A and B are shown apart, each in its own frame.
Chain A
Amino acid sequence: MRRACWVLVLVLLVGSLAVSFGSIGAASKWTGTIQVWDFPRPDAAAEWELQAFKEFEELHPGVKIEYTKLTWAGGNEKLDVSVAAGQPPDICGSGLRLPYVLQGALEPIDDFLTAEDLKDFHEGSLNAVKLNGKYWGWPWYNTLYTMYLNADIFNEREVPLPKNGEWTYDEFLSAMQKLTFDRDGDGKIDVYGFGFTFQPTYLQPFGIIYAEGGRILDIDKNEFVLDSPEAVAGIQRLYDMVWKHKCALPNAGGLTTTDVNNAFLNTRSIAAFVDTTGIISSFATHNKKVEAGEIEGEKINLVTAQYPKGTNGLPIAAGPGVGSWAVFKQKDPAKREVVMELAKYITRGEGQKEVVPLIGVFPSRKSAGNVWAGDKNLQHIVPAVEYAVYPPMHPNWNKIDDKIMRELQLAVLNEKTIDAALKEAKRQVERLLNY
């Protein structure tokens, strides 16, 4: 009887030890399938991604990656429906959306960010994924706007291109005025210097507002600051270009971003506009095809420039945000660790060095180096990158953005004074600030 008891105790001891060791072993070696979703990238970048997934699978035997390509049209809806139905992917590129953070659908990455990571990421990149004191995605690349100039129109009007893509506001304005002209002498303006509009989520004209220190929100104080004198001066500049100097596409505010793009690319009726750097490679392809005689049409002789500098002489850049990899809530901590590792692997510095130029954007890590050094077009933007301003990370930003843009539309359409528009925007936004 006694012996039997001892045996039993021994068996229990050994058994529990084995079980606990076993679970430790399992924790470090999770195996299974990771659901990866991403929006479509340019072909070369997409190939790079698939290669990276393969490498990760090799580094982690037993881990399988199932990749789903989302679409830009309808992709957000697909993601939304899946998240709302409680069936999100494990990880998603460009999947960091504010409502997901608020609804607790994402994992904060803070515990997986090493001190090195914190030092390596650009501050702006990290701030763009920070909400309520935590980081919610692995920054992959920074999307920035650049000013595109049609060099042919500059030459036609004998307007010098800005040296190194840098100019002051006065230089910019006088260039735009000279570039506004009646080509065929019928008394109607054929080409305008600048083209812009205000549309929710498209922050293209805001570089002009940021230049003198204007900002939309003060995140730390949770305040609306677009009515500060600096910001108002910037809005006034945009307004004046339309109404006083008449050197910007009329009906700004009533146009969509697509209309402005069309005016520059297709009808060639504006000499300058702002868009993301990501479209540059498409121009190169277009020109190559024209040269090779594959397609009819005119080459587009493109030059990039920074936003006009502020009076403090510092460059300014603006961007619509940071592309990042967001990890969705994981029940199994062992799996969470592996998924985080995957995110980290995709967004590592050496990786960015390769893939970021393929997307036409800027790296989020300093260790990726200056990927655009020597690039004819984007080297102009590089000095401004560290001054880049991204949309403020506020839980209600999407709604705030919508209210502000619609008021600014009315202001630049001269339907309302700037003052009245900002007052109304402030009234609306203040209700949204305190979430």
Chain B
Amino acid sequence: MVDGLATTSSSPEPHRKSDTRSVLKLLHKKRWAYYFIAPATILFCIFTVIPVIRSFILSFQEFRLMGNVWVGLDNFKYVLTDPVFHRAMRNTALYTVVMVPQGVLKALILASILRNLPEAVQTFFRGAYYLPGVASAVVISMVWKWIYDPNFGLFNFVLGKFGYGPYTWLTSPKTSLTSIMLMGILTAPGYYIILYLAAMKKIPRELYEVADIDGATPFAKWWNVTLPLLKPTTLYITITSIIGSFQIFTSAYVMTQGGPGYSTMTVVYLIYNTAFRDFEFGLASAQAIVLAAIIVFISVYNFRIFSTDVQY
């Protein structure tokens, strides 16, 4: 396309005409693709692009009710030199590095185990792992608060019976972030499990039968048939859990308020404070854009790793 435009300078008219015509022809040939993405794209342009562009512009401004003031790169300068932002970024990055691989692995292994169980049993476990999500965040956090309570909690009680502890869990800056991560590690990834199960459903039996004829062990079949065909799902789960981990907010907000000190301060918690405690939407936008840039960068890298297109 670019080449075509460059060559038109020598013999302008006829070429350009056929060029546009071929483009139109191509578009016409592909019109169904555009029809299919049209509803999504139109909704997306109105309700996502406009707000995102607005907040992008806002990141170069100081938010003022009487009219925003352009401040150039000041917000970004402040964000990148703010020690609290650094701390929050470190906490968030550490959280992501730990949570994403274990989450994906956990879901994959659990789903692989579950799918070999009889249907009724499978239904029970799917429910047991997924349904806790229906309980409100308040209820879940209350239960975890009790589990972690340093004086009267479940963990210290049980560990005490074996002569360990007491541990400080959420109440010390040395252990608070680890405890938040442990909470995530001990939570069953219900959504990812059912997604994996759904993806496993559509792997044709024929492929396993071919492997059986070759005399493959169960592990070999899992490794050579199941895993490769789950790649797109694994990519989806990896990307969404990277986004989710980088945007972690609720557990820090409810469990520790980012403390003690700044030990569990996360980037989105900081963004929340900047926007809704300090009313500085410009600065909050800058913080959000720095965060988004990092997530996009990592996501692109992940797409590269998983990029080999998989089809039967």
Please give the residue numbers on chain A whose beta carbons come within 8 Å of chain B beta carbons, in ascending order.
76-77, 80, 83-84, 86, 97, 99-100, 102-105, 199-200, 249-251, 253-256, 258-259, 262-263, 267, 269, 398-399, 402, 406-407, 409-410, 413, 415
A413 to B281, CA, bound (A): 34
Q: Which residues of B contact A199 (CB under 8 A)?
A: 257, 259
Q: Mark B260-298, 1 if CB is under 8 A from A, else 0.
A: 111000000000010111111100000000000000000
Q: Is B151 an interface residue (CB 8 A)?
A: yes
Given contacts A83-B65, A103-B65, A104-B66, contact A254 B259 (CB under 8 A): yes
Distance in Å: Cβ of A131 to nearest Cβ of chain B: 14
B173 & A269 in contact (Cβ 8 Å cutoff)? no
Distance in Å: Cβ of B10 to nearest Cβ of chain A: 54
Q: Is B247 an interface residue (CB 8 A)?
A: no
A76 to B176, CA, bound (A): 28
Given contacts A84-B65, A267-B152, A413-B260, contact A399 B278 (CB under 8 A): yes
A253 to B275, CA, bound (A): 26
B281 & A251 in contact (Cβ 8 Å cutoff)? no
A251 & B65 in contact (Cβ 8 Å cutoff)? no
Given contacts A105-B65, A406-B259, contact A251 B173 (CB under 8 A): no
Q: Which among A80, A251, A256, A258 is the interface contact of B150 at CB below 8 angstroms?
A: A251
A97 to B255, CA, bound (A): 25
A80 & B257 in contact (Cβ 8 Å cutoff)? no
A249 & B278 in contact (Cβ 8 Å cutoff)? no
Which among B25-33, B96-104, B114-122, B164-172 touches the partner chain? B164-172
Please give the residue numbers on chain B whose beta carbons come within 8 Å of chain A beta carbons, in ascending order.
63-66, 145, 149-152, 168, 170-173, 176, 255-257, 259-262, 273, 275-281
Q: Which residues of A contact B262 (CB under 8 A)?
A: 406
A119 to B34, CA, bound (A): 71
User: Interface residues of B: mostly helix, strand, loop or mixed?
Assistant: loop
A76 to B278, CA, bound (A): 12
A259 & B145 in contact (Cβ 8 Å cutoff)? yes
A29 to B275, CA, bound (A): 39
Tally of contacts, chain A with chain B, CB under 8 A: 83
Q: Which among B63, B176, B257 is the interface contact of A84 at CB below 8 angstroms?
A: B63
Q: Which among B260, B275, B278, B280 is the interface contact of A409 at CB below 8 angstroms?
A: B260
A255 to B281, CA, bound (A): 30
B170 & A77 in contact (Cβ 8 Å cutoff)? no
Q: Which residues of B contact A409 (CB under 8 A)?
A: 259-261
Distance in Å: Cβ of A98 to nearest Cβ of chain B: 8
Q: Which residues of B contact A399 (CB under 8 A)?
A: 278
Q: Which residues of B contact A200 (CB under 8 A)?
A: 257
Distance in Å: Cβ of A363 to nearest Cβ of chain B: 29
A103 & B279 in contact (Cβ 8 Å cutoff)? yes
10 smallest beta-carbon distances between A and B, as pairs? A254-B171, A99-B279, A251-B171, A409-B260, A103-B65, A254-B260, A410-B261, A406-B261, A398-B277, A251-B150
Q: Which among B145, B176, B280 is the interface contact of A254 at CB below 8 angstroms?
A: B176
A318 to B275, CA, bound (A): 28
A251 & B278 in contact (Cβ 8 Å cutoff)? no
Distance in Å: Cβ of B148 to nearest Cβ of chain A: 10
Extra inter-chain contacts (13) besides given A84-B281, A104-B66, CB under 8 Å: A77-B276, A80-B275, A102-B279, A249-B151, A251-B171, A251-B172, A253-B171, A254-B168, A256-B255, A406-B260, A409-B259, A415-B173, A415-B261
Q: Which residues of B contact A99 (CB under 8 A)?
A: 278-280
A413 to B278, CA, bound (A): 28
When C-beta atoms are compared, the residue in chain B nearest to A192 turns out to be B151
Q: Which among A83, A269, A413, A415 is the interface contact of B152 at CB below 8 angstroms?
A: A269
A402 to B171, CA, bound (A): 17
A409 to B256, CA, bound (A): 12
Q: Which residues of B contact A402 (CB under 8 A)?
A: 273, 277
When C-beta atoms are compared, the residue in chain B nearest to A406 turns out to be B261
Q: Which among A76, A102, A263, A413 is the interface contact of B276 at CB below 8 angstroms?
A: A76
A253 to B170, CA, bound (A): 11
Q: Which residues of A contact B171 (CB under 8 A)?
A: 251, 253-255, 413
Q: Which residues of A contact B281 (CB under 8 A)?
A: 84
Q: Which residues of A contact B149 (CB under 8 A)?
A: 259
Among A77, A398, A410, max chain B CB count under 10 A is at: A410
- Supply 5 A–B pairs (Cβ within 8 Å), ascending by A: A103-B279, A250-B151, A254-B172, A258-B145, A413-B173
